[in-house]
Amino acid sequence: MPMPTASLASPLYQLKARNHGPDDLELEIWQLPCPATPHISKPLRVAGLRGRNLSLVETQVLRRLKKVGIKVAPGVGKTERFALDEDTSLNIGLLCRVLAPMRSAERMRQIATGIDLMDREEAAYWLGMTMHRKNPRRVLSALRLLLTQPG
């Protein structure tokens, strides 16, 4: 799929969907070089999710992608690439970063719901904190704590 031309005001993002086999989808968000982000000289991986952790929130992610006109269905062993708008990229990128190391299915669902309800500015703040901090694990732990119910 051809990538749209970049305006000076917005960064470019791309979704890579790779099918490794039956029920083994991998999603990755990449930020691409463009005039709006001169400090990025090569594609930068924002986040990715695969396996069990993706399968727990896959319906929610695919529904969100469908709202922006993206239908992910790569064949086995194939990779598809889609241009993503900034809002969707921020939301899904943050979701992938937060959920990747987690194990508790119930907490993951709570966090996915909380991230889905975030507005653009809040998602951008948290994603920036997780990408550009010296210790992003602390930021991710704080966000997990804020988005889950005690108990």
Name the token pair of 75: 């064949």
Is 23 inside any structural domain?
A: yes
Is 2 inside any structural domain?
A: no
Is 1 inside any structural domain?
A: no
* pLDDT score of 50 more than 50: yes
Q: What percent of the chain has pLDDT over 70?
A: 94
Is 93 inside any structural domain?
A: yes
Is 7 inside any structural domain?
A: no
Question: Into how many domains does the chain fold?
Answer: 1
37, 46, 52, 114, 131 from 144: Cα distances, Å: 29, 18, 18, 10, 16
- Over the chain, what is the mean pLDDT? 90
Structural domain that includes position 82: 12-147
Is 71 inside any structural domain?
A: yes
Averaged over 117-143, what is the pLDDT? 92
Q: Is there a contact between 53 and 99 (Cβ–Cβ < 8 Å)?
A: yes
Rg value, the chain, Cα: 15
- pTM score: 0.85
Enumerate the H helices of 37-151 as residue ranges. 52-67, 86-99, 105-116, 120-132, 136-147
- ∠ CA(86), CA(46), CA(113), 5° rounding? 70
Is 3 inside any structural domain?
A: no
Is 41 inside any structural domain?
A: yes
